[in-house]
Structure 1
């Protein structure tokens, strides 16, 4: 895992661990839900984390620098 997205990933896991969704299903299923049973804070962290990971693959973002965390 890249260092620039590691902090976001840890915050997302922390946020998801506090939801009821994780008590019934794995983290991966809860993070990927279309209609979230998670808080809006976790949804925001999820979108930011996915954009951070996408930015690592996009060569334009890699040249300019990753704006993840």
Structure 2
């Protein structure tokens, strides 16, 4: 269960590394992932939301028993 969000995290990092926030503005990944800026593509925003929901599902005890919702 602890590694079930690892693929989403890697996709998010890959998407952010190709964004203008990292390339042009030379800002850290953590800073770029936490904002809703025009320099971040909508695909990255969608991946970010999916990743955060996946991590939230790991903490929720009800979801830990039932498993994540097929992310």
Q: Which has the higher contact order (CA 8 A, sep 6+)?
A: 1
Gaps of 5+ in 1: none
The answer to which structure has the higher helix fraction is 1
* TM superposition score normalised by structure 2: 0.86
Structure 1 runs (4+) deviating above 3 angstroms are: none
* TM superposition score normalised by structure 1: 0.89
Q: Rg: which structure is higher?
A: 2
Gaps of 5+ in 2: none
Query: Once superposed, what is the RMSD of the aligned Cα atoms?
Result: 1.2
